[in-house]
Amino acid sequence: MGLLLVVNLHGKINSSAPVRKALSELKVERKFSASVVTDDPATVGMLKLCKDYVAWAPTDAELLATLLKKRGMVSETTRLDGHALTTMGFKKHEDLAEKMLKEQIRLSQVQGVRPFFRLAPPKGGFRVSLRRQFSEKGMLGNNPKLADLVRRMV
């Protein structure tokens, strides 16, 4: 298995009740919010249900550490900085990212850390359609180029 990075690109306006429930369980209810979920059949089923609203791709340690460092939050206004990491028992963001990738810990299990990341719109724009799936030359769905987009959104 592994971890998937999920990014909501549309919000939840005009979506059906099952899609809204799937988005809330994936922790990506708002537009440009991202979360890290496990790659298991139940999660993939939820992702396929809301494929017209989100994009997802496997994540790596470097991208996950960057997200934790720049967009990780402990509370509404407090960032996940070095002091917050040491109180949780980690030395740096890369240690937490490695432990998450080895599936020893989940972001929701770390006390005090918010299980989602708030991202900004991408610098330079999207360059492809947000209304189409990746297989149709769009951005949505299972998108192997999502890591590049997220790096521009951080």
- For residue 6, what is the enclosing H or E element? strand 3-8
Can you give the pLDDT at residue 15? Answer: 94
- 83: amino acid identity, one letter: H
Can you give the pLDDT at residue 85? Answer: 85
Can you give the pLDDT at residue 83? Answer: 85
pTM of the model: 0.91
Can you give the pLDDT at residue 50? Answer: 95
State the fold for domain 3-59+118-148. Answer: Ribosomal Protein L30; Chain: A, (3.30.1390)
List every span in the chain annotated with CATH 1.10.15.30.
61-114
Is the CATH code 1.10.15.30 the one for domain 61-114? Answer: yes
CA 75 – CA 112 distance, rounded (Å): 7
Q: How far is CA 31 from the centre of its chain?
A: 12
Q: How far is CA 142 from the centre of its chain?
A: 13
Can you give the pLDDT at residue 42? Answer: 95
CA 29 – CA 17 distance, rounded (Å): 12
Can you give the pLDDT at residue 151? Answer: 96
Can you give the pLDDT at residue 53? Answer: 96
Can you give the pLDDT at residue 52? Answer: 95
List every span in the chain annotated with CATH 3.30.1390.20.
3-59+118-148
- Consecutive 10-residue averages of pLDDT for the chain (154 residues): 92 94 96 95 96 95 93 88 84 89 81 89 94 95 95 95
User: Is 29 strand, coil or helix?
Assistant: coil
